Amino acid sequence: MNTEFMPTDLDPRQVEREQRIVRAVSNTVARRRDALRIQVPVELERSIRISLGEAAASNQQSWLAGALNWVRRPAVSFGMAAATLMIVVGLVFMTQKSETLPAEITDAALMAFPGVHTGSTKLDITSADKGTLSAYLAEHGVGHEIFYPEVEAELVGANVFSVNGLPCAEIVYKAAGHTIALLQVDEKAIASKRVELHPVVAEDVAHSKWHWASTVDNGTLFVWKSNSIMCTVVSDLQIDEVSSLFRLEAL
């Protein structure tokens, strides 16, 4: 500690008076709590309520719910319904990622993550072999070379997600039960505006090499560019934990 300005004595009256003033400020602000609140614009409140209604409706009207309702129709015979159900169940596994994710890459990665982490979204392919994964991803419409960063975690498989209609690869790692999902998007798709990257994130990546942020659940969002691939990691691990797993200098 620098003791250059350390006083030799403390005036208790002065300290007491300062405490009194600080308390008075606190009370003054607290008493004006209601007056200090800024009125929410009516349009904003209305817009939020509408957005919530739309979000709820879009979840409610998922294609699976529609399919199940159709199966339940009395006009459909039992045998037909059973067969349809089997097809639907098969489709759940085959095409559950066919629902397109939003065009903004970080939103897409964040939206895709919970299902991958909990296991409710099954991996399209389970393998630790990079060649196998790359071949699968190429066969399913991913048009760029897949980047496998050096991560102190186990490569467990990959998914193909549709981001605004564009097939994008997500490779998935596991470390002690935690998930590290890496969504990869060809830079050309951003340049052509087929998909978007939030300008603040893009600026960070351009000027600081990467963008780190905590997610709502204290997880991590980590974005960087490797050659021409924009890489977006979402993990349930915290930022310092994620950064310790990656060989950052090699990214």
Partner 1 sequence: MDDLRKEFELEALPHMSALYSFAVRLTRDRDDAADLVQETYLKAFRFFDKFERGTNCKAWLFRILKNSYINKFRKTSKAPDTVEYDAIEEFYETIRDSSVETSVLEEQVIDNALDDEVAKAIEALPEEFRTVIILCDIESFTYEEIAEFIDCPIGTVRSRLHRARKLLAGSLAEYARKRGFELPGEGKMPESAIPERSLNDEH
Tokens of 147: 């980047």
Residue ranges in 168-207 that form contacts with partner 1 under rule CB under 8 A = 198, 200-201, 203-204, 207
C-beta of residue 168 within 8 angstroms of C-beta of residue 161: yes
Residue ranges in 93-122 that form contacts with partner 1 under rule CB under 8 A = 106, 111
Binding mask 9-48 for partner 1 (x = CB under 8 A): -x--xxx-xx-xxx-xxxxxxx-xx-xxxxxxx--xx-xx
Note whether 209 binds partner 1 by CB under 8 A.
Answer: no
Which one among 216, 227, 249, 250 touches partner 1, defined by CB under 8 A? 216
- Burial class, 125, CB count within 10 angstroms (exposed 0-12 / middle 13-18 / buried 19+): buried
**What per-residue string of b and e applies to 159-183 under the rule 16 or more CB within 10 Å gives b?**
bbbbbbebebbbbbbebeebbbbbb
3-state SS, residue 74? coil
Which one among 42, 60, 79, 240 touches partner 1, defined by CB under 8 A? 60
- Indicate the residue among 14 and 227 with the shorter CB distance to partner 1: 14
- Burial class, 101, CB count within 10 angstroms (exposed 0-12 / middle 13-18 / buried 19+): buried
What is the contact surface with partner 1 in residues (CB under 8 A)?
A: 1, 5, 7, 10, 13-15, 17-18, 20-22, 24-30, 32-33, 35-41, 44-45, 47-49, 51-53, 55-56, 59-60, 106, 111, 198, 200-201, 203-204, 207-208, 213-217, 221
